[in-house]
Chains A and B, each alone.
Chain A
Amino acid sequence: MSGIMRRPSLFRPKGPIDQSLLAENRALLADIDRRKLLRGTLSIGALMLLSGCKFTDTKVMQAFLMGVSSFNDGVQELIFRPNHLAPTFTEADVIKPPRFNAYYEIEDVKPVDGATWKLELAGLIKDKRPWTAQQIAALPEQELIVRHICVEGWDYIGQWSGVNFKTFLERVGADLTAKYIAFKCADDYTESIDMATALHPQTILATKYAKQPITDPFGYPLRLRTATKLGFKNPKWITSIEVTNEFPNTYWLKQGFNWYSGI
């Protein structure tokens, strides 16, 4: 073994390298390299660009990217500060009306009839009796003047009031050690949040905007407003609230958005 190792390599040149050969062809070598590199870089770039669009939407890539997204959920849960308050603003900063966001246009909003509307409760809740709009209106009110940030990149400052969500969950005897709160909405929208966010002091079930009842496009009669999540995590026209330990899938998660979407 060691004998073989000590033998000089068969591939080692016997004599010294003829330097003149290299010097003669140096310009040619440099030129070939430059052209190849240019061409190579351009074609790799073009290939990636052309296929980037379809490539991302393949099953394999979606499995990978949604895996990363789910890892990012965990990271966001870790950095969430349960008692850290979002910046608040004054009434002078509030825009009226708020900016609309949904998976359809504002013209397609189907108004909810407040007189017949009921809020259903489900899952790990002791008192599952449904709530009417009048009963909810009788609950203590909290006001939030906070920034609404949309995943698209726009933002505005809104003034929302309604019952503190933690107060409401305690009132109905919800299991506050459960993992998730799932919402169903009158427009078939589904959304869910983690319990830590539900219990944050700036999470409310809003019934008013700028001291007036919320208008139809913005979630009348009841919507969620949390200062620590992106806009789409604030479901409007809520018809049912479920407290659960089983992960509730959501409308936008199915479309490939990040579930936690904290801010």
Chain B
Amino acid sequence: MTDAVVKSQARHSQAPHERIATRRLHPLPLRIMHWVNAIAIFIMILSGWKIYNDEVLFGWLHFPDAILPGPWAQHGLQWHFFGMWIFAINGLCYLTYGLASGRFRTMLLPISISGVLKTARDALLFRLKHDDLTHYNMVQRVLYVGVMLVGIVILLSGLSIWKPVQFSELASIFYSFQTARLVHFLCMTAIVGFILVHVSLALLVPRSLLAMITGGPRVPAEPRQDERPLPQQAKL
């Protein structure tokens, strides 16, 4: 039995039934990391577009300078090489937290192809329910895991563009300098696509957006027993 449970029971000793320890669906550190990441991504995308405009990959694609930071390309670079620290450090903290706390395992796994297809069909037929914020459907799971992987690839391709000589071993994975730029660009496109879906759905279901600010509904502090691997030995 954890300390939290003991304390919780002591506090509510006069309650008619036994209380179990709870926590918010989105614990405070997670909420902080989510919004720090939102700011970092905002900086990285706009400054990245500014840098892109200086030497475009596709002749037909220029981003509107009016919405981009600073008059010149160097201002895009300044923001990008500031934002990269926030994105990378916060991102590493987020991944470490998600893996160590078991949040990724309990909220994002398992993923099955049939489940994804079924959920996608329901979504397209507007049959999806959003009553339960504590449970991610298969499409959400795929998108969240997918955008995390894209986040890792955009960081690695970014490092390969920034330091193709110092990190030449890493850069060689991306074939050449221009292909690394292309991968970096495609990852950005995927993230922008994710943001469009993510923000639209958050605005359609405002409770989910508020939950990322206030923490959302209370859930049991420990994952349910049936969701956890059985321990070899009881630790009590």
Determine if A151 and B77 form an interchain contact, defined as CB atoms under 8 angstroms apart: yes
Q: Which residue of B lies closest to A146 (CB)?
A: B165
A19 CA to B73 CA in the complex, in Å? 57
Alpha-carbon separation in the docked complex, A150 to B172 (Å): 19
Query: Shortest distance in angstroms between A125's beta carbon and chain B's nearest beta carbon?
Result: 28
Range, interface on chain B = 35 or more
What's the Cα separation between A76 and B84 when bound, in Å? 14
Q: Mark B48-77, 1 if CB is under 8 A from A, else 0.
A: 000110110000000001111111111101
Task: Let me know if A263 and B52 touch, CB within 8 A.
Answer: no
B177, CB-defined interface residue at 8 Å: yes
Interface check B210, CB cutoff 8 A: yes
Closest to A49 in B: B67
A224 to chain B, nearest CB (A): 16
> Are A258 and B77 within 8 A (Cβ)?
yes
- In the assembled complex, the Cα of A263 lies from the Cα of B155 at a distance in Å of 16
| Closest A residue to B76 using CB positions | A56
- A residues 51-88 in Cβ contact with B at 8 Å: 52-53, 55-57, 65-66, 68-69, 72, 76, 79-81, 84, 86-87
A37 contacts B206, CB within 8 Å? yes
Query: Are B206's CB and A56's CB within 8 A?
Result: no
Residue in A41, A76, A263 whose Cβ sees the most chain B Cβ within 10 Å: A263
Known: A30-B206, A72-B81, A256-B74. A263 touches B165 (CB 8 A): yes
Interface string of A27-60 (1 = CB under 8 A from B): 0001001100110010000000100110111000
Query: Are the C-beta atoms of B206 and A34 separated by less than 8 Å?
Result: yes
User: What band does the interface of chain A fall in when counting residues whose beta carbon is under 8 Å from B?
Assistant: 35 or more
Assembly CA distance A34 to B85 (angstroms): 33
B75 and A262 contact, CB distance less than 8 A: no
Give the complex CA separation of A258 and B79 in angstroms: 11
B68 and A52 form a contact (CB under 8 A): yes
- Among candidates B46, B163, B164, residue contacting A79 with C-beta atoms closer than 8 Å: B163
Given contacts A53-B69, A68-B82, contact A257 B77 (CB under 8 A): yes
Docked-complex contact B165 and A68, CB < 8 angstroms: no
- Does B178 count as interface, using CB distance less than 8 angstroms? yes
Residue in contact with B79 in the complex, picked from A37, A65, A79, A153, CB distance below 8 Å? A65
Residues of B71-97 contacting chain A, CB below 8 A: 71-75, 77-79, 81-82, 85
Q: Is B120 at the interface (CB under 8 A from chain A)? A: no
The complex places the Cα of A52 from the Cα of B79 at a distance, in Å, of 11
Find out whether the CB atom of B181 lies under 8 angstroms from the CB atom of A153: yes
Contact status B55-A80, CB under 8 Å: no
A108 to chain B: closest CB distance in Å? 20
Q: A57-B75, A65-B82 are in contact. Are A153 and B67 (CB under 8 A)?
A: no
Is B209 interfacial (CB 8 A cutoff)? yes
Whole-angstrom distance from the CB of A181 to the nearest CB of chain B? Answer: 19
A149 to B66, alpha carbons, bound, how many Å? 27
A33/B206 in contact, CB under 8 A = yes
B168 within 8 A of A: yes
Chain A residues whose CB sits within 8 angstroms of the CB of B162 once the complex forms: 263
**A65, chain B: closest CB distance, angstroms:** 4
A153 to B67, CA, bound (A): 21
Is the CB–CB distance between B181 and A86 below 8 Å? no
| B14 CB within 8 Å of chain A | no
A69 to B74 CA separation, bound complex (whole angstroms): 11
Show 8 A/B contacts (Cβ-Cβ < 8 Å), sorted by A.
Answer: A49-B66, A56-B69, A69-B81, A81-B166, A150-B55, A151-B73, A227-B165, A263-B164
Q: Which residue numbers of A lie inside 8 Å of B, CB to CB? A: 30, 33-34, 37-38, 41, 49, 52-53, 55-57, 65-66, 68-69, 72, 76, 79-81, 84, 86-87, 147, 149-155, 227-228, 252, 255-258, 262-263
Q: A55-B69, A65-B79 are in contact. List 6 more A-B contacts (CB 8 A).
A: A33-B206, A76-B163, A152-B54, A256-B72, A257-B77, A262-B166
